[in-house]
Amino acid sequence: MSLDWRYDEAIANPAKPFCIACDCRAIARNNNFDFLATRYHNPINNLIQPNHLIQPNHYLCPVTGKQRYFIELSYDGTNYHGWQIQKNAVSVQAILNEKLSTILRQPIETLGCGRTDTGVHAREFFAHFDVGRESIAESPKSGDSEEESGIETTTDHRPSTMDPMDCIRSINAILPKDIAVKRIFPVAADAHARFDATLRTYEYHIHFNKDPFKNGYSWELRDEPDIELMNKAAAIVMEHTDFSCFSKSNTQVKTNICKITKAEWTVTDSGIVFTISADRFLRNMVRAIVGTLLMAGKKEIAPEAVRAIIESKNRSNAGMSVPACGLYLTEVLY
């Protein structure tokens, strides 16, 4: 989401201030474009994004009349057929859309930062949705004056006044107990939960002793694998970028290229955890990687054999897809 060219155009044409979210013309109190030069404070990761330039206040797009919001949630995936809406199956996205539509009294469609498979959990998940004016007050927030904002509001450009905290309380009250909304906050009109994400992190949990409280939340193995061998194999995985051998077939993705920045096994009090971070993941990729690394840990293959498996680009050469119950999406960065 590079908006630098819009800022350059604003500087080149100071007599034509405009809303950089959708390129529509807006009225500014002055023409020095200080508000356009304001660095965007990213509320997701509490970071400053120097290339993302937006107005200090989030304004309704006069073209669509809607305000875009990000929503952060977590969910237990046991009872759901993944995040994405499916025919004849219950998904997290379908439930969230339904409850948001009820609270906001208009049809709401969310778009997630990715898709989790059936039974996969998410400790941190982001989606975005657009809210029409019928759910957003038409007057500025109390205490916000034109002098404070430095921007002359017009009929077409009014700050969003939907109270996110009220919305969070209301939607959590009607959501199932296995889905929880953590935050809702306004973003620029072209902010995208999926395409603007730069890093995603998954964890896979394994335990070795029977524990009724881990059923559905960790995979039980009888024999402990060699974690040193698995970490050697994981280091080889990080040397590559084409992970066709770990992807489901017929996924309709344009590329199987992913940049992995972390792949590591660690020992915990109750078992072992595999942590993997990348800019993107293919369908079934993490579970297939775990299954392949376990082959090395069980000494069924040498760690170096993982290189040949990846270079073959053949899913049948890789390990099994481990059960979904141990997999968690734990972090999404923007």
pLDDT at position 253: 83
pLDDT at position 61: 58
CA 138 – CA 34 distance, rounded (Å)? 25
Domain 199-333, second-level architecture: 2-Layer Sandwich (3.30)
* Mean pLDDT of the 98-119 span: 96
pLDDT at position 165: 87
* Amino acid present at 169: R
- Taking CA atoms, 270 is separated from 162, 226, 286, in Å, by 44, 16, 21
The answer to whether the pTM exceeds 0.85 is no
Residue 271, φ and ψ in degrees, nearest 5: 165, -140
Q: Following CA atoms 52, 57, 61, 66 in sequence, which dihedral angle do they give, to the nearest 10 degrees? A: 110
The fraction of the chain above a pLDDT of 90, given in percent, is: 67
- pLDDT of residue 16 exceeding 90: no
Could you tell me the fold of the domain covering 4-187?
Answer: Alpha-Beta Plaits (3.30.70)
More confident residue, 176 or 164: 176
pLDDT at position 34: 35
3-state SS, residue 153: coil
Lowest mean pLDDT among 123-127, 134-138, 187-191, 310-314: 134-138
pLDDT at position 18: 40
Contact 197, 111 (CB under 8 A): no
- pLDDT of residue 150 exceeding 60: no
* Mean pLDDT of the 298-323 span: 97
The fraction of the chain above a pLDDT of 70, given in percent, is: 71
pLDDT at position 80: 98
* Mean pLDDT of the 275-296 span: 97
Residue 174, φ and ψ in degrees, nearest 5: -110, -5
More confident residue, 46 or 268: 268
- pLDDT of residue 51 exceeding 90: no
Q: Tell me if domain 4-187 and domain 199-333 are identical in fold.
A: yes
Contact 111, 194 (CB under 8 A): yes
Lowest mean pLDDT among 9-13, 48-52, 112-116, 276-280: 48-52
pLDDT at position 63: 55
Structure tokens at 318: 């890789």
DSSP conformational letter for 309? H
pLDDT at position 95: 98
Q: Domain ranges for the chain, please list them.
A: 4-187, 199-333
* Mean pLDDT of the 264-291 span: 97
- pLDDT of residue 60 exceeding 70: no
CA 230 – CA 292 distance, rounded (Å)? 9
pLDDT at position 275: 98
More confident residue, 61 or 54: 61
pLDDT at position 30: 34
pLDDT at position 6: 40
- pLDDT of residue 57 exceeding 60: no
* Mean pLDDT of the 81-99 span: 97
- What value does the mean pLDDT of the chain take? 80
Helix 305-312 to helix 227-237 angle, to the nearest 10 degrees? 40
pLDDT tier at 163, thresholds 50, 70, 90: confident
pLDDT at position 134: 56
Active site residues: 117
